[in-house]
């Protein structure tokens, strides 16, 4: 909140409260420094999207100013070509990395093997075995033996999650 005190012509002070300041009316310099939107500049690593064409060679006997402009334009053109080649190289490198990783996915999946019971499902199996034991009096080991036999696994934790 800004409180502005303004002296009137007859000497009486006038107080204005709860004013939202309008800095542009006070000072254009203040408005430019604190109220202006920050200028955004493109990162230096960006390559211009539009192609830069090679400048035309000036005719023989052209003034030095025209040759200077030609060489400045050639510098811009050659730098653009270099940047495009660097960008293409980085894209090709990343593409090769993606291809390598994609090639490895089947091998990784094979090494991981099929998805077995998650910890939550293992807990559910344990709870069900306990409940069967409590209701029927069958020994825990007997229930787990039945599970292993039914699913053809060495332990109930090896049961596939899809089953």
Question: How would DSSP label each residue in 79-129?
Answer: HHHHHHHHHHHHHHHHHHHHHHHHHHHHHHHHHH-S-B--HHHHHHHHHHH
Contact 76, 52 (CB under 8 A): yes
Residue 5: the pLDDT is 46
Contact 83, 120 (CB under 8 A): no
How far apart, in whole angstroms, are the C-alpha atoms of residue 133 and residue 142? 9
pLDDT tens across 107-155, in order? Answer: 888 888 888 888 999 999 999 999 999 999 999 999 999 999 999 998 8
- Grouping H, G, I as helix, E, B as strand and the rest as coil, residue 18 is strand
Could you tell me the sign of the dihedral formed by the alpha carbons of 90, 91, 96, 101, in that order?
Answer: positive
Between residues 40 and 4, which one has the greater pLDDT? 40
pLDDT, averaged across the chain = 79
pTM value is 0.38
CA–centroid distance for 19 within its chain: 42
Residue 94 dihedral angles phi and psi, to the nearest 5°: -65, -40
Average pLDDT over residues 78-82: 91
| Cα 113–Cα 117–Cα 119 angle in degrees, nearest 5 | 120
Query: In 10 A of CB 119, how many CB atoms?
Result: 8
Around 136, how many Cα atoms within 13 Å sit in the side-chain half-sphere? 11
Lowest mean pLDDT across 35-49, 74-88, 108-122: 35-49
> Which residue spans within the chain are E strands per DSSP?
2-7, 13-19
Pairing state between β 13-19 and 2-7: antiparallel
Decide if pLDDT at 92 tops 80.
Answer: yes
């Amino acid at each position: 909140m800004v409180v502005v005190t303004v002296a009137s012509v007859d000497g009486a002070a006038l107080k204005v409260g709860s004013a939202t300041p309008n800095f542009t009316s006070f000072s254009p310099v203040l408005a430019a420094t604190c109220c202006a939107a920050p200028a955004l500049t493109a990162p230096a690593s960006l390559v211009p999207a539009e192609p830069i064409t090679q400048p035309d060679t000036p005719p023989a006997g052209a003034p030095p100013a025209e040759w200077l402009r030609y060489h400045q334009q050639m510098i811009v053109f050659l730098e653009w070509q270099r940047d495009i080649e660097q960008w293409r190289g980085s894209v090709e490198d990343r593409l090769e990395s993606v291809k390598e990783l994609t090639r490895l996915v089947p091998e990784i999946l094979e090494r991981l093997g099929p998805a077995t019971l998650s910890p939550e499902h293992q807990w559910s199996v344990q709870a069900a075995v306990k409940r069967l034991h409590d209701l029927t009096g069958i020994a825990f080991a007997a229930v787990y033996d039945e599970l292993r036999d039914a699913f053809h696994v060495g332990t109930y934790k090896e049961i596939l999650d899809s089953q």
